[in-house]
Each structure stands twice: as C-alpha cells, then as structure tokens.
Amino acid sequence: MLVLVAPGQGAQTPGFLTPWLELPGAEDRLRAWSAAIDLDLVHYGTNADADEIRDTAVAQPLLVAAALLSARQLFPDTADMAREVGATAGHSVGELAATALAGVLSDEAALELVRARGLAMAEAAGITATGMSALLGGDPDTTVAHLEKLGLTPANVNGAGQIVAAGTLDQLAALEADKPEGVRRVVALKVAGAFHTHHMAPAVEKLEVATGSLVVADPAVPYISNRDGRAVSTGAEIVTRLVGQVANPVRWDLCMETFQERGATALIELCPGGTLTGLAKRALPGVKTLALKTPDDLDAARTLIAEHSSTAE
C-alpha cells in the first residue's frame, strides 16, 4: 500500500524549484497558479533568498504548489492517483496539498485557500514575537510536561522521538537554557510564528470566512487528518478540520500509526521531500521511503509506485 505525503513549513530552501521548472509544462502551470493567487511562485521558488521564503505568507503557498507540481508529474491523470494511492496526508500546511491530491479541492482552490491561510497566519504571528523549535530525543511524556511548565505548546508531535515546541521567543529562549531531561538538541525552525497554538486563533476566524464559498468533494483517495490520525470520509469535515488545525497541535505520530495500521508498504514524500521520510524511516521500519527533492528522483518514485500501488500485482 502506497502513501503519498506532503511536507510542512520549514522544508523550503532557496532555489529548490529551479530544476522542476525545466520539465515540460511545469513553468506554465506554476505561472498560471501564480496569477490565480497573485503571488509570483516562479520567483520565490527560484530566485528568492532564505528570508523571503521564510515569510509565512510566501512559504505556505510555495510549499503547496511544489507538492502539487511534483505530484502531477507522477500522476498526470487524477484517476490514476485514485486507483494507485492507498492514502494521502500532509504535515501542517501540507494538508492543503493533500486535500487536492485526495480530490477534495481542485489544485487552484487549494492554492487560493493556502494563500488566505498564509496571509492570516502571518498577520496573527505579527501580534506577538513567537516561533517554534524542534526537540530531538527524550521521553515524550517528560518533554510535554516540561514544555507546559515553561508555557510552551507541543505544537507538532511528530513521532520518532521528535516534538516541536511553540510559543513566545522568550519562552523558547528559556527552553534552550533548560532542556527537558533526555533531550539532546533544541533546533530553531525556519518559521515566523507559533503555529498550531492559541497564538493562531485570529487566523481561524479569517479561514472560516475563506472556506465559505469552496466547492468541496468527498475524498477519492483516503485522507488521513493531522488532528488525530483518523481517515476522514467527507470533504466537508476535512475542510472544517483544516480551519481548526491552524490553532491546534499536529499529531503526525498518529498519522504514521494509521499508515502502519492500514498496511503501508511504501511512502513517497513530495517536493521538497526529506523531513517526513526521515521520520518514517525511524517510526515505520520495513516501509520503503522516497523523498522527491529534484526531478532526478522521479524515475525511482515511478518504480516504487509500480511495485507498491493498489494496482500492483
């Protein structure tokens, strides 16, 4: 059983889309999406520097566009995706890409929604100086209790020994000085706010308005939600969860448990891949993984699809 996943904010690097735009039709597609959301995705994916693409309002649409661009290279026909992919999910903003992969929203609607999401979350992040840091190692229960003592939120529970803390910059500085027992490292993430915490509450209200006119379908590919790792069967509930998720923790650990329970044998992480495959290698032993970083990875991904898709013999 093949799982297709999309990474979240922080996975972007300067110029990461440059080789993808050399593929036939890729630049035209990205320019059309750019026009639809009034954001120059070509510039930000090729020429922008690290600070420019760290901006939440830029990073989020850019990551969703990258995931969709790479997915459409693997599955030009959406009907093939419905037949061959056993489940799809996205980490944080990657969920917006997953909604399009599952057939819940069109690519354009997912990008319009993520554009609204990025702007709303950037505005919410501007109210207070906040951020996020990954903690490597340690016991999850001990770590969560320590974070709560410091006033921080375990915003991403990623499994494989990784939890991401979110809160004010002062609270994160206190965490650096006072790590939980067993935690080896605290790594500041390339994000501009405390996402998936109460600091994002103002963004929830704006997203509720933005989703009001969406054309939504039920998923054609099983969709696994960040909120609790459950497969969600209706498009309406998926959209409701997308709205609330910006202010609630990501439970990627539970998503991976669901992949395992559903019999996953392979996992492909869409561009810019690497983070989620790293987690899967530790948490899902025996599951083959592949990260799409450049078009050079496409042939290997197609081989993996042929071997592990729902139609493979």
Pairing of the two strands 130-137 and 183-188: antiparallel
Residue 267 to residue 186: CA distance in whole angstroms:
27
Residue of 34, 70, 91, 92 marked active site: 92
Which pairs with CB-CB distance under 8 Å and at least 24 residues apart come from 236-244? 238/99, 238/102, 238/104, 239/99, 239/104, 239/211, 239/214, 242/95, 242/96, 242/99, 242/113, 242/207, 242/211, 243/204, 243/207, 243/208, 243/211, 244/204
Which residue among the candidates 91, 196, 199, 308 is catalytic per the annotation?
A: 196
What is the DSSP code (8-state) at residue 295? G
Q: Count CB neighbours of 301 within 10 A.
A: 21
Question: CA-CA distance, 295 to 24, in Å (whole number)?
Answer: 12
Helix (H, G, I), strand (E, B) or coil at 202: helix
Q: Look up 92 and say whether it is catalytic.
A: yes
Identify residue 47 by its one-letter amino acid code. Answer: N
Tell me if the bond preceding 272 is cis, omega within 30° of 0: yes
Known catalytic residue: 196? yes
CA triple 196-200-203, angle to 5 deg: 120
Three-state DSSP state, 290: strand
Catalytic residues: 92, 196
